[in-house]
Amino acid sequence: MKINLIISGLTALVFMTSCKSLQSIASKDTSSSTKQNTVRPDRRDLKFMDNIEVTPGSVVTSKHTTINTRSPKKTAPVAQQQEISKTAPSTELSKANIEQADYLQLKYAVKLDATVEKLNNIPLLQAIDHWWGTPYHLGGTTESGIDCSAFTQTIMQTVYSVPLLRTAQEQYKNADPIELENLQEGDLIFFHTGGRRSREISHVGIYVLNNKFVHASTSSGVTISDLNDSYWKQHFKAAGRPKK
């Protein structure tokens, strides 16, 4: 009985001692429940750098200088700007000319059975297009009617600055003879379309390329024909290069 009382007393003593220890530890561990004080610098201590400017595309390399990573826009002098403004209409005109040239190249590439790249003589294409379909008229020299030699005379003068005499026969006599395989753009093609008794040249055209020539025909007016056509092959007389 005495032993049991002693054991009970000792147990109670140990329990009381452990509670006091836990309370002591709990009272000391306040780190998680308190906020850490943050020291804020006094604004009066803040200092700013002078003479710094940063623009889009710039990189700061020091406290006073920057490197611009974008190319600066060059401003033309006032006099030069005035010149540019004066020439603006001509620029638009050039664009219109380019569009017209592209159109003519496509149009006549089909008629000449050739690639667009081969049609580099735009003034020739413009001249052909200007006269295209003009009716044939013997002795005529205008857009109302023109004959074959007047047409070749006009084209050779306006496009190549080469003067020709008025009639097909005269143009034939004043041209250097060449073979068909040596034909070049701007050479003349001569035909004998009259009766057997007449030996004079009665028709003339201008060679373009790919066996094609442009001329003022009696049936279709100003048009393009093929040297391989049976009619023109039958009446072909000679080819010549105008003397400059």
Which amino acids are annotated catalytic? 148, 203, 215
Our measurement of the distance from residue 21's CA atom to the centroid of its chain's CA atoms, rounded to an integer in Å, reads 91
Rounded Cα distance between 67 and 87, Å, is: 37
Q: How do strand 141-142 and strand 212-217 relate by DSSP bridges?
A: unpaired
* DSSP strands (E only) in the chain: 58-60, 66-68, 141-142, 145-146, 175-178, 188-191, 203-209, 212-217, 221-226, 236-242
Identify which of 74, 80, 130, 123 has the alpha carbon closest to the alpha carbon of residue 101: 123
β-bridge mates for residue 145, sequence order: 142
Rounded Cα distance between 74 and 104, Å, is: 39
Rounded Cα distance between 67 and 46, Å, is: 26
Neighbouring CB atoms inside 10 A of 109's CB total: 16
Identify which of 147, 142, 102 has the alpha carbon closest to the alpha carbon of residue 120: 102
Site of tokens 């998680």? 32
